[in-house]
Amino acid sequence: MAEGYKHGFATDIAAPTRPRHRFLPSAVLPADLPRGKVPIADMANAFGVTHRTLHFYEEKGLISASRIGLMRVYEPGDVMRMAVINACREAGMAVAVIQDLMTDLTEADSQEAAEALFRDALMTRKRELSAEMSTLHRQVQQVNDLLDREAAEDPLNDNQSDSALTDQELRCLALMAAGLSTQRIARTLDLRDDAAQSLEAGIIQKLNANHRFQAIAKAVMLGVVQV
């Protein structure tokens, strides 16, 4: 199925809210997907999303589903579209941007054209991230300056230092500093979303911070993480 994906495909699903694609850019398909029609539970597990997320993409016209009895299923073409959508979401693209990209891809008349459109979208996102990184570094510096003023009045004591953090908390803190959302941290650490939220809350408390950004700034000052 992945090989066919690289060379383009024609879908048999007629969905008025979702354009027809002949070619899609190459994207990694999960290895554990069943062949043929994929039940929604398998689709969600394979791509690391919730059922609600899949329903949301359907509402936005990005994918569509049919039913076998009471079971909601996705055709191979929609699985391939989901691979592209998931890659875009992992890169942090907004849903509206993905919608525009998928619409543009309906006009692609070759695999090369589809790849070029995807590459242009990724380059645009790269420029956005570079600008965001520059802004983040300025904000971290500003937070550091503010914390320096408070350091004499509220120094970190032993039980608030990085030595109190567990290995899992240190991994979580590094992912927080890298800009990952709580949901992505949960997936990376193989945790439930609520467990990842509790983990972050514990880190913030141990660092005597008011929120995640202040916790990251303090961790940078302590040399626990680097940005």
Please state which of the ranges 18-22, 76-80, 158-162 shows the lowest mean pLDDT: 158-162
Whole-model pTM: value is 0.57
pLDDT tens readout for residues 153-182: 554 444 444 447 888 988 898 888 888 888
Mean pLDDT of 191-216: 89
Nearest to 167 by CA among 210, 213, 203, 193: 203
What is the three-state SS of 33-54?
CCCCCEEHHHHHHHHCCCHHHH
Report which residue type is found at 19. Answer: P
What residue has token string 């700034």? 217
At residue 75 the predicted structure's pLDDT band, cuts being 50, 70 and 90, is very high
Q: What domains, with CATH codes, occur in the chain?
A: 2-121 (1.10.1660.10), 156-222 (1.10.10.10)
Start-to-end CA distance of the chain, whole Å, equals 39
For residue 106, what are the contacts with CB-CB under 8 A and spacing of at least 6?
19, 20, 21
Structure tokens at 26: 């190459």
* Residue 18 clears pLDDT 60, i.e. is over it: no
Mean pLDDT of 18-24: 78
